[in-house]
Amino acid sequence: ATLSVESKVEEKQVFDGEKAALLVRELRNNFDTGKTKSYEWRISQLKAIAKMLEEKEKEIVDALNKDISKPPLEAFITEIFQAKSSCNEALQELKHWMKPEKVSTSITAYPSSAEIVSEPLGVVLVISTWNFPMLLSLDPVIGAISAGNTVVLKPSEVAPATSSLLANLLESYLDNSAVRVIEGAVPETTALLEQKWDKILYTGSARVGRIVMAAAAKHLTPVILELGGKCPAVVDSNVDLQVTARRIIAGKWACNSGQACISVDHIITRKDFAPKLINALKEELEIFFGKNPMESKDMSRIVSPMQFSRLVRLLDEDKVSDKIVLGGQRDEKKLKIAPTILLDVPEEAMVMQEEIFGPIMPIITVDNIEDSFSIIKSRPKPLAAYLFTNNEQLKKEYVDKISSGGMLINDAVIHVATRGLPFGGVEESGMGCYHGKFTFDSFSHKKSVLYKSFDADPSIRYPPYTPQKEKL
Ligand code: NAD
């Protein structure tokens, strides 16, 4: 009898389509009361997030360390500080963002005035991922709240400590009648995706991006898809070698061990310059992570055994294993892989076919640096494209000819923190964008409003269209 009671309790706790429908209905009713539309409500929630980030910094750092052994300073810089900046920017700018934008009107509407009113969409869904599980959950939620929506967050089950912390913190700090966290994996996300949302922001792989978009299409729900791709770094031979090496390392190994959507996936450089670049990378890597990087506390581990075996498979492929010029060591128990550099792996190797998302860096060599353009163009458009050069003409051509979500010249990754820039992909790397005002805009409907008076009502616009009117 006890068992059957327990199994009934367990059964009840499953988050299924019925529960998801109830949740959406409840949030829609609460949205309809209009409370989330007020400036005061939005500000109160943003202040609560800022307070939470201030008071719970240690818990957040600990959760990120548990999930992916993220070094505390890296956790602070890349997640907590970024979330705080996003929240502070919204607090500062909200009044300005919410203000209707005046636009001039045409003679045909004379006399009139016009404005664009940003109105909240309603009930929105944020599906987040595991690599920056705090920032990539909070940043969209901050934008959804700023725009006056009710919101459901589904964090990634692959970062369980952060997922559970988010659920607890958002429940205790925020207004639960408008902001909810649903934890879970595929079944829970599927139940959520069956519902009608007013917008979905999904961060993760293109494979699941397609599932999200197909589900959204049934309800004509618009989506923002923040996906990934193979982000190239083209390195010219006229660069400051030490600075270039340090910045590439910071944008690969010191950034979640390469498990970042905009981390450098591979380098393309000139054949005669590659040995110099490799030496500089080796020297700087040793300064960053010591002689035995497998023991370094300054490099995150691989997130899961599944991701670890995928990366090992990439390294152990026949065509690849003899191309290792640095690293290659791995420790299955600790889920660690040493910073690894591969030189001139063949194009058809798996490591050059899929997004690496780990500490492996292939270097592809070309005779002329401009040859890198056709290599990049032969692949799906990446989320970010990097170029290191002192050649102004090359910079111009790169910006002009290469299409990517974002672009950064002479550094890697840090464009993500420039809040005035929209962040998002193009084609296979995603659609739509967010960050700062762009998140507010993405979670708002831009309603066109034209105001007319009863004055000036020329009869020419009305039938009958008499010959006299035609003459005018
Ligand atoms: P993941 O496994 O955490 O999945 C992301 C989300 O999708 C999770 O919430 C998960 O529960 C959900 N999900 C997984 N399978 C699903 C299914 N079958 N149906 C419905 N929902 C499902 O993360 P991931 O996909 O391994 O993330 C890595 C990818 O994310 C990489 O391609 C990376 O480049 C990309 N990424 C992009 C950004 C960005 O901002 N553009 C940021 C981080 C990661």
CA angle 4, 6, 9 (to 5 degrees): 110
**Per-residue pLDDT at 13:** 74
Which numbered atom of ligand 1 lies nearest the CA of 193? 20
Tell me which amino acid residue 275 is.
P
Residue nearest to atom 9 of ligand 1 (CA): 156
Q: Rounded to an integer, what distance in angstroms lies between the CA atom of residue 413 and that of residue 209?
A: 22
Residue 462 CA to ligand 1 centre (angstroms): 56
Annotated catalytic residue, options 261, 284, 355, 428: 261
Residue nearest to atom 41 of ligand 1 (CA): 226
Got the DSSP string for 191-228? HHHTS--SEEEEES-HHHHHHHHHHHHTTT--EEEE--
Residue 138 CA to ligand 1 centre (angstroms): 16
Candidate from 181, 200, 203, 259 with most ligand 1 atoms within 8 A of CB, to mutate: 203
For ligand 1, residues with CB inside 6 Å are 127-131, 136, 154, 156-158, 185-186, 189-190, 203-205, 208, 211, 226-228, 261, 355, 357, 383, 425, 430
Which numbered atom of ligand 1 lies nearest the CA of 127? 9
Residue 332 near residue 313 (C-beta atoms within 8 A): no
Q: Is 286 a catalytic residue?
A: no
Residue 188 CA to ligand 1 centre (angstroms): 14
In degrees and rounded to multiples of 5, residue 180 shows phi and psi of -135, 150
Residue 63 CA to ligand 1 centre (angstroms): 19
Residues with Cβ within 8 Å of 289's Cβ and at least 6 positions away in sequence, in order, are: 253, 296, 298, 299, 339
Residue nearest to atom 17 of ligand 1 (CA): 186
Residue 357 CA to ligand 1 centre (angstroms): 12
Q: Rounded to an integer, what distance in angstroms lies between the CA atom of residue 425 and that of residue 261?
A: 10
**Per-residue pLDDT at 472:** 77
Annotated catalytic residue, options 74, 79, 188, 226: 226
Candidate from 162, 188, 205, 413 with most ligand 1 atoms within 8 A of CB, to mutate: 205
Neighbour-count burial of 113, counting CB atoms closer than 10 A to its CB (0-12 exposed, 13-18 middle, 19+ buried)? middle
Which numbered atom of ligand 1 lies nearest the CA of 131? 43
In degrees and rounded to multiples of 5, residue 299 shows phi and psi of -130, 130
Sign of CA pseudo-dihedral 412, 418, 421, 424: positive
Which numbered atom of ligand 1 lies nearest the CA of 154? 9
Q: Rounded to an integer, what distance in angstroms lies between the CA atom of residue 203 and that of residue 154?
A: 11
**Per-residue pLDDT at 110:** 87
Q: Is 18 a catalytic residue?
A: no
Which numbered atom of ligand 1 lies nearest the CA of 156? 9
pTM for this entry: 0.94
Residue 46 CA to ligand 1 centre (angstroms): 26
Got the DSSP string for 268-328? EEETTTHHHHHHHHHHHHHHHH-S-GGG-TTS---S-HHHHHHHHHHHHSHHHHTTEEE--
Residue nearest to atom 10 of ligand 1 (CA): 156
**Per-residue pLDDT at 72:** 95
Tell me which amino acid residue 409 is.
I
Which numbered atom of ligand 1 lies nearest the CA of 383? 41
Joined together, the tokens standing for residue 442 give: 């993405």
Q: Which residues pair with 200 in a beta bridge?
A: 125, 223
128 alpha-carbon distance from chain centroid: 9
ipTM of the complex in this document: 0.96
What SS3 class is residue 20? helix
Residue 212 CA to ligand 1 centre (angstroms): 11
Mean pLDDT by 10 residues, the chain (472 residues): 48 84 98 98 98 98 95 94 98 98 92 96 98 98 98 98 98 98 98 98 98 98 97 98 98 95 98 98 97 93 96 95 96 97 97 97 98 97 98 98 98 94 98 98 98 91 91 82
Residue 65 near residue 74 (C-beta atoms within 8 A): no
